Each structure stands twice: as C-alpha cells, then as structure tokens.
Structure 1
Amino acid sequence: MSKFYQRRYLRKRDACISIFACVFAPSIVNAQDAGWQGQITPYVWATGVGGHVKPVSGAPTISFDRSFSETLKDLDAAFFINGFARKERFVLAGDLLYSSLSKKGTVSPGVSAKAKMRMASLTLLGGYRAIEDSSMALDVMAGARVWHTRASLSVPVIGEQRSSTHNFIDPVVAVRVNFSLSPSWSMLGYADVGGFGVGSELTKQFALSVNYQVNENIYVSTGYRHLDLDYKDKGMRIDTKLTGPFFGFTWKF
C-alpha cells in the first residue's frame, strides 16, 4: 500500500473511531448511571388518635380523641418504615405501618368502654418522574394499600364484648415532590388518596418533611404526617385519624 493510501486509510479509521466514540460513549456512560438508586427510612411517628370504632353490627360505637402522650400510654406496639427506589424516570415507593392500641372512651354519657384496635397497612406504588430539574423533582404514582384491621369493644357495665377482623385492599393515587433548598437541606411533600368504595370508603394521607444530608448516604428528617381511614362493612365501622410529627433516619444506597 502506498503512503498516500495508507495515510488516507488511517484518517478514515480514526474518523470512524471518533464517530463510534461520539455515538456510543454517552450510551455506555448512561448505562453505567442508569442503575437503581434506593433508600430506606425507619421512623418514629408521634401520632395522636381520634375517631369512632364499631366492631360489629349491633355493637355500640366508641368515640375517642387522644393526644400522643395519651396514646403512648395505651400503645401496645408500633412499627413504621418507608422505602423509595428510582431508575431513570421510573420510581417505586412503599410504606409499612403497624400499630396496636388500647383506648378508653364512651358509648353514651356516663357509660365507659374500652376499644382495642390493631391496624397494619402496606402501601406499594409505582410511577413516573414527571418533572426533574436542579431544584425540584415531581413523581406521580399509583398502586394499592393493603389493610389488616382487628377491632374489639368491651363495655363492662353491660357485660358486652364484640370483635371482628377485616382485610381489604384500596387503590391509591399519589404525588411526591422534593424541593432542594441547599446542598445539604431539602423539603419533601407527599399526598395520596384511595379507597373510592372499592375497599374502604376513603383513605387519604399527607406528609411534609424537612431533610438534612449528614453525608453521602445518610439523611435525617423531621416533619408531620396525617393518615385518615373511613371503612365500613357488614355493620363494622372504623373512622379513624392518625396525625402527628415524626422523625426518620434514611440510608441511601
């Protein structure tokens, strides 16, 4: 091969290599960066409890309205954990709640009663990151909330005791928005609504938190959360609200 054709061949080869690099290198980088990112957050929820419980048809309804300090006295057990994962614009979210409470209230003036309520819920959502820039990210999601409830009522004056257990699933739609306030501080807002008569009559909640990044993988958060459940089936009625501040610890991976 002559030197002229050799130089021409080398130029074409280098040009092809450059074009290949320009086309495929970003894809390789994106493929490396396109993996799943996740976080898990156990948290303490200083919740007060209010509402009405009617365990079965024909049983009296007990009403209650208790602050966190009063609820804490009646708390048998509680466990709360939240998770979130993202791959590019696809997002997944989950929340597990378990609480067991014994509460005193009244069924009529002067007639005291004691209600015990065990409540567990698992919320699973999938969705899409609709907006993302340097200061805000907005996720829209849909999924389901699985409930397990057991309510019992004891009225010592009349010697009556009733209980029932119900499991049901609510469809849920949700939004999650994250605001960047500074390199270390952010604010997170979350809201969902569901039920629509499919499982419960209505379930809804909202949460707002302020978050501080301790290091690359650790965050601490504090905020306020409200959860509302209105469920009735075959004479049973649970109309309850859990509301109060929370504190969480997040591990990002």
Structure 2
Amino acid sequence: MASKTLGGCALAIGILASGIAAAADPEVAAPPLGASDWVVQVTPYLWASGMKGGVSPFERAPTAHVDVPFSEVWDNLNFGGFASIWARRDRFVFAGDLMYVNLSAAEVVGPLPDLAPELELGAELDTVQFYAAGLAGYRVVDTPQFSLDALAGGRFWYVSNDLTLQLQNVGSRSFEQSFSWFDPLIGARAFYNITDKLSVMGQADIGGFGVGSDLTWSLLGTVNYVFDDHWSASVGYKHLSVDYDEDGLLFDVEMSGPVIGVTYRFGGPAGG
C-alpha cells in the first residue's frame, strides 16, 4: 500500500518538473557595446519536460523511483506559469527565471488485505512548486557576430505537498510537507549571429556544492528568429539535473525536454 501511494506522490513531484526551466530565456541579439540604456527581454515559455530519478516528498518516506514522460505531466497539470527575463547595460548582464506550478495526482491504491480487504484506499497528492533563479554577469567577449557572458547567482526552490488518504466509507486523513533550498550557481552563456534574423544561443550552469543540493547543473540550447525590433521566437532543448537530499527529503532527478518561447524586447533595437 505504501509503495503505491508513494508512486502517486512521485508522479506528482515528477509533474512539477515540467515547470522547472532554469534561465530558459532565448536571447536575441543585443545592441552594440557603448549603448548606455538598459535593453530588456521578457519571455513567456513552455518546457515540455519529463523526469527520471528518485523522490521522497515526505520525511522518513521510502524513495519512489519515477520515469514520467511529458504526456503524464500534462494530464496532471492544474496551472502553470513560466516567464524569464534578460537584461543588459554595456557589458553588465542579468538573467532571471520564474515558475509557479500546481498539480494533482490521484490514485486508487487498492484493498487492505490485512486490515479491511473489502475496502479500498485512495490517495491524492496536490503539489505546489515555486522556482526563481537570478544570475548576474559580465560580457567578456562582445563582437557583432559573437558574444560570451560569465555568470554567477543562484536558484531558489520551494515545494509544498498535501497528501490525502481516503479509506472507503471510513474517512480520510491528510499529511502536509513543505521544503525549500537555495543553490549557488556559476555559468556561462554564448550567443552567435548566423544572419541578421537567425541566431543560436547556448547556456550552462553548475552549482549546489552542498549549500542546498549536493550538485545541480543545466544545459540549454536554442535557435532564435527575430521578426522585428521587438518580437522574436525561439525553440531548443533543455536538460537539468539536481541532487537534493536533506532531513529525509529527497529530490534527485534529471529533467529533459524541448523548450519554446516568444520574446518581447524593449529598450533597444534587435541586433547582436
């Protein structure tokens, strides 16, 4: 019974990962060095991610191993909001990312053969996750065709779980658990103009270092197309790995999937 209930918990935590998209802010080309005003880009996006790994969303609960495709993530999504921001002034840059996700997973665990074989036990897990990342940096290479930024900052995670166990014709009992942590990060971001409309961007970061998670790292690559001075679109792929294990709470997973975003830019013309 416990293993099946935790399987439902694991599924819900896996669904959370659909919202986890660190720094998924595809960059269009920045203005020439020497511009004194801020250039800002805001990108609502979707990360169609599945998840593999092990989770234990409640203290002292056994680890549940999960392998959740994005199709299951989507089926259990109540609400998700994702947005990123990128800003630059001269050689100073900033990248931020926000996510809020609410998911529910319900499962009929089955009868209790030793206690009440005629009754069925149901389990429902409601999960809320808030995620925020911020990295500041310096543009170490800046040419009309290629740029390279060095970045440092952190990623904050908050997860809240509400598990309800319902025994047929008997009653229900609820369990709540929330946990949070902060991971320091270092990273880099490269941008290359193929044409005045088409570009590619790659970003990588690594962190945790035992401050929050034991280790976390991510890779992001996008292809970007500029429509005009304000609008652009990007498609690409994202992978994120995190290994958090503290006080009996485990979140040791890898998340991968395509990303797609639409960017609005203000404060400067499009260009690299």
TM-score, normalization by structure 2 = 0.72
Structure 1 residues 199 and 31: alpha-carbon distance in aligned structure 2, compared to 1, 3 A threshold: closer
Q: Read off the aligned partner of 1:150 and give its amino acid letter.
A: S
**Residue identity in the other structure for 1:222:** V
Shift in alpha-carbon separation, 1:237–1:155, aligned structure 2, 3 A: farther
User: For the pair shown, which has the larger CA radius of gyration, 1 or 2?
Assistant: 1
What secondary structure, in the 3-state scheme, does the structure 2 residue paired with 1:33 have? coil
Amino acid of the residue matched to residue 165 of structure 1? S
Note the C-alpha offset of 1:147.
1.2
Indicate how the Cα distance of structure 1 residues 64 and 117 shifts in structure 2: closer, same or farther if over 3 A, else same.
farther
Instruction: Pick from 139, 142, 153 the counterpart of residue 152 of structure 2.
Output: 142
| Aligned residue pair count | 219
- 1:206, 1:151 → 2: CA distance? 28
Question: Which residue pairs with 2:99 in the alignment?
Answer: 97
Aligned-partner residue type, residue 263 of structure 2: T
Judged with a 3 Å threshold, the aligned counterparts in structure 2 of structure 1 residues 102 and 113 are, in CA distance, closer, same or farther, namely same
Larger relative contact order (CA 8 Å, sep ≥ 6): 2
Q: Deviations over 1:39-98 (max 9, x none)?
A: 111111211122222123321222221111121111122111111111110111101122
- Quick check: 2:203–2:219 contact (8 Å CA) kept in 1? yes
- The 2-side partners of 1:44 and 1:135 are apart by 28
The amino acid across from 1:246 in the alignment is: V
What's the secondary structure of 2:232's corresponding residue? strand
1:80 aligns with 2:57: no
**CA shift at 1:160, angstroms?**
8.4
8 Å contact 1:231–1:238 — kept in the other structure? yes
The structure whose residues are more often helix, as a share, is: 1
Corresponding residue number in structure 1 for 2:135: 125
> Which runs of no fewer than 5 residues in structure 2 stay unpaired?
1-31, 110-121, 267-272
Cα separation, 2, equivalents of 1:206 and 1:31:
27
Which residue does 1:243 correspond to in 2?
256
Q: Is the 8 A contact 1:152 1:161 kept in 2?
A: yes
**Is 1:49–1:71's contact at 8 Å kept on the other side of the alignment?**
no
Aligned residue in 2 for 1:43:
45
Compute the displacement of 1:99 (Å): 2.2
Report deviation, 1:115: 5.3
CA contact 2:95–2:135 (8 Å) conserved in 1: yes
1:172-197: per-residue Cα shift (whole Å, max 9, x none)? 11111111011100001111111111
Q: Deviations over 1:13-53 (max 9, x none)?
A: xxxxxxxxxxxxxxxxx998311111111111211122222
Change (3 A) 1:165 1:78: same
Task: Check 1:62–1:115 CA distance in 2 against 1; reply closer, same or farther (3 A cut).
Answer: farther
- Counterpart of 2:205 in structure 1 is 192
Distance (whole Å) between structure 2 residues aligned to residue 248 and residue 40 of structure 1: 10
**Contact 1:55–1:162 (CA under 8 A) maintained in structure 2:** no
Could you tell me which runs of 5 or more consecutive residues in structure 1 were left unpaired when the two chains were aligned. 1-29
- Measure, in 1, the Cα distance between the counterparts of 2:129 and 2:244: 12
- In structure 1, C-alpha distance between the alignment counterparts of 2:126 and 2:239, rounded to whole Å: 21
- Distance in 1, matches of 2:40 and 2:126, equals 36
Q: TM-score, normalised on structure 1?
A: 0.77
Distance 2:33 2:142 in 1: 19
Q: Please report the RMSD computed on the Cα atoms of aligned residues, expressed in angstroms.
A: 2.7
The percentage of aligned residue pairs carrying the same residue is 36
